Chains A and B, each alone.
Chain A
Amino acid sequence: MSHDALLVLKNVSKSFGPVTVIDDVTVEVRAGQVSVLLGENGAGKSTLIKMIAGVHEPDSGQILLDGSPVKIPDTKASEALGIATIHQELNLVPSMSIAENITLGRVPRRFGIINRRAMRQIAREALDKLGLNLDVDTKVGELGLAQQQLVEIAKALSLDARVLVLDEPTAALTKAEIAHLFAVVRSLKTQGVGMVFISHHLDEIAEIGDFVNVLRDGKFIATVPADTEENELVRLMVGRDIDEQFPRVAQEPGSQPLLSVQNLSEGMLQNVSLSVRPGEVVALAGLMGAGRTELIRAIAGADKYSSGTVLVSGKKLPSFDVAAATRAGVGHVPEDRKTQGLVLDASVAENIGYATMAATSRGGLVDRKGQRERAQQVAERLRIRMGSIDAPIRSLSGGNQQKAVFGRWFTAGAKVLLLDEPTRGVDVGAKVEIYELINEITASGGCVLMASSELPEVLGMSDRVLVMSQGRIAGEIPTAQATQDSIMALAVSNVHRENEMEEN
């Protein structure tokens, strides 16, 4: 053990019932360094950081802080020891100001009355440490996600945190915001804060990390330097070589469009037209807020549109009618599987069966046997790893949950798949499996329209790229000729100005 180890988890294990999720793992956090925790979903990363945060206590093993063993029975204890965890879901009150949030639970008081001046002072000092120039009276709800995250980090530091756990902090940030976050992380390194960093983006590891602890199936695999090659990291993480990260098998597309959208307008969407032919994967790229999700949802029938037409195999779909779209062979894998894709209390079989439940019922009775059989078949085909088909879907890992949403539409025989960030929060192994599903759909004559913020995925898995900007299609590039730069150039192009010039 190195002498500058701040926090050490030594030979810790944790089981939930019969399932061992952490098996004799030893990792350390060093002062002034970023320790990356790498592993697929279900590898045990979150359980490990929950031990540090005081949510779970290890069944065996020790937690050492500055070399002496400590117990962290609850989150309060963790906070008292100077440990702070920044989760993806932020712990801020949107309706309260930055200053109120930073001093939440320890509001400075004088004669029992809130001392607003001292409160602002504490908040301003905390923001200064991060080089953040924000008005401390701003309501947190008015800030963007990236700034909220920084406020939460500021709050942690004002509590004298020495160990900072960052759980996928970059998942929802833009490139510029990530750069800002990393600048803050670097400055915290010089201040001696020890950090644990979790990310599914391998390219970020070399950029910000110092060393990498790799976990697989709850076991410790290796500690390697952060500049280790990505392929090697993947191999350590998955336990086998992944030949190709993007195994796209292009098809000869059919001649007639399977999905066609004509002059669709609603809210921010303006005159969007596109068509996707059988066998094709068309990617929708663009900045956050460019209207990709809105477009996908409108086509799927999830939202209303005021004008325009959506045709599937030449037949018009009614607006705002998911059931009609489903009957026409449209499947929609929404942006956020937890809030939009799955009923977490229900079983795997039920979740897979929702789109087909009514159609396969007899006299209003659910065909439970058939539903389970169909779900079992599709689960095997999609290699969904689960306890059983009757297990609650919440017990599955993120990647397997996502595959279950795909399974719903496979079972329904969907020909047109609308994917919105299909691999968000999915680990490398499951990602490739999802890509293979995309290949399978196009090979069998279906088509895919995929909104994605990950340019490597866009470039690796599509045949054509449509770039959206401010609710319009700003341009189209065949994927073979597309580069990250050419896509970004279109994504930031100001469509309005171009049009004005044409009109003049």
Chain B
Amino acid sequence: MSSTAIAPKKGFDVKAFLANNGALVGLVVLCLALFIATPRFLTGPNLLNIGIQVSTIAVMAYGMTFVIVAAGIDLSVGSVAALSAMASSYWITTAGLPDALSIPVGLAVGAACGWVTGAMSAYGKLPTFISSLAMLTVVRGLTLVISDGRPISTGASVSWLGGDLGVVPVPIIILVVSGLIAAFVLNRTVIGKNAFAVGGNTEAARLSGIPVKRVLVTVFVISGVFAALSGMILAGRLDSAQPTLASGYELDAIAAVVIGGASLSGGVGRISGTLIGALVLAVIRNGLNLLSVSAFWQQVVIGAVIAIAVGFDVLRRKNVRH
């Protein structure tokens, strides 16, 4: 599903392709510019570095895409990532329980957090902005409670998530595999299509017999699981779960989804777009680092990029829909 116009199928329409893939075009232009600006950009180690950087945001943003497609927003993902990473580490390091279960435990904690957020909105009628804002604080608080404000070392399996498989970093493998799974679920399953219907028109979906409340809870559970995975990758890279892990990441995840072409009013979004959105953010950060731009200025640039990217998208849609 996309918001693309009905184009006659006559060969390859370059103009339409460019108009419908603005973020991708932007990404390519960005890469070309950095390639010209600095020789250090297009080197193996740097690209792997970008891949690792992008993986945590992208994985989190995959889950966020489900929520946004269903016309919600999930501000709790950064905190959920932290709590999940903390819980999986606590499980083995502090409680001494079997390491093999630490990743499933982390994912289950993420799912549970998502379920609570979703249920507050679906059954308690809170706007998702509010329910997830509440969870952002509650979950971060719980993380601090469990850890007593101190980092906990990760177990072997969570550390493996941040390691390498041969020459390829595991985060990049997860980035690709979980992206394929997310795209499949969003486009091929009843869960995904229901999310589009609910986000596109809640009332029409309800009157067609689609269980709107269950759909809302489900997308938050999905978001929670992806956030947990993202949190454990982050912890695995550091070999320890920090109580402040992933704080503020929710905004990057939302930005990635929106740059990728999803509409905050729901009903429109693609996993591939989200990946591109996350790549745009990561490549800009990387490029600015290579060009030795100060971290303070980087924030200014990133903000401007978000505004410009979404602005272009709004303009494009206006033209398409006449």
Which residues of A are at the interface with B, using a C-beta cutoff of 8 A? 16-18, 56, 300, 302, 322-323, 325-327, 332, 334, 339-347, 350, 354-355, 357-358, 361, 364-366, 368, 387-388, 391-392, 394-395, 408
Contact assessment for A354 and B208 in the assembled complex, using a CB-CB cutoff below 8 Å: yes
Q: A325-B209, A364-B189, A365-B190 are in contact. Are A346 and B197 (CB under 8 A)?
A: yes
Mask: chain B, 207-245; 1 = CB below 8 Å from A; 0 = not: 111110000000000000000000000000000000000
> What's the nearest-Cβ distance from chain B to residue A113, in Å?
35
- Contact with B3, one of A323, A343, A345 (Cβ below 8 angstroms): A345
Q: Scoring B residues 172 to 196 as 1 if CB is less than 8 Å from chain A, else 0, what string do you get?
A: 0000000000000000111111101
Collect the chain A residues with CB atoms within 8 Å of residue B197's CB.
Answer: 343, 346, 350, 354
Contacts of A391 in B (CB 8 A): 6
Q: Is the CB of A16 within 8 A of B322?
A: yes
Verify if B164 is at the interface (C-beta below 8 Å from A): no
- Please measure, in the bound complex, the distance between the C-alpha atom of A355 and the C-alpha atom of B321, giving whole angstroms: 27
- What 9 A-B pairs come out closest when comparing CB atoms? A343-B200, A354-B208, A326-B209, A323-B209, A345-B267, A343-B201, A322-B209, A361-B190, A345-B200
Cβ–Cβ contact B209 & A342, under 8 A = no
Please name all residues of chain A whose beta carbon is closer than 8 Å to the beta carbon of B257 when the two chains form the complex: none
Sampled A-B contacts (14; CB under 8 Å): A327-B209, A332-B207, A334-B203, A339-B204, A340-B207, A345-B1, A350-B193, A354-B197, A355-B208, A357-B194, A364-B191, A366-B190, A368-B188, A395-B6
Q: Is A365 a contact partner of B189 (Cβ separation < 8 A)?
A: yes
Could you say which residues of chain A place their CB within 8 Å of the CB of B209?
322-323, 325-327, 354-355, 358
Contacts of A346 in B (CB 8 A): 1, 196-197, 200, 267
List B residues at the A interface (Cβ < 8 Å).
1, 3, 5-8, 188-194, 196-197, 200-201, 203-211, 267-268, 321-322
A354 and B210 within 8 A (CB): yes
Q: Assess the B190–A358 pair: CB atoms within 8 A.
A: yes
Instruction: Give CA–CA (A340, B203) in the complex, Å.
Output: 5
B314–chain A nearest beta-carbon distance, Å: 15
How far, in Å, is A420 (CB) from chain B's closest CB? 10
* Contact (A350, B1) CB under 8 Å given A345-B200, A392-B6: yes
B190 touches A364 (CB 8 A): yes
The answer for the CA separation of A341 and B207 in the assembled complex, in Å, is: 7
Interface centre among A340, A346, A361 (most CB of B within 10 A): A346
**Complex interface: chain B residues within 8 A of A394 (CB):** 321
Interface centre among B193, B194, B268 (most CB of A within 10 A): B193
- Which chain B residues lie closer than 8 Å to A342 at the CB level? 201, 204
Tell me, rounded to whole Å, the shortest Cβ–Cβ distance linking A401 to chain B: 11
Contact status A343-B204, CB under 8 Å: yes
With both chains docked as a complex, state the minimum distance between the C-beta of A21 and any C-beta of chain B, in angstroms: 10
User: Which B residues touch A347, using CB under 8 A?
Assistant: 1
Return chain B residues, CB-CB under 8 Å to A345.
Answer: 1, 3, 196, 200, 267-268
Are B5 and A17 within 8 A (Cβ)? yes
B187 to chain A, nearest CB (A): 8
Check if A343 sits within 8 Å of B189, measured CB to CB.
Answer: no
A422 to chain B, nearest CB (A): 15
Contact of A357 among B5, B190, B267 (CB under 8 A): B190
A388 to B1, CA, bound (A): 14
Taking the closest CB of chain B, its distance from the CB of A413, in whole angstroms, is: 13
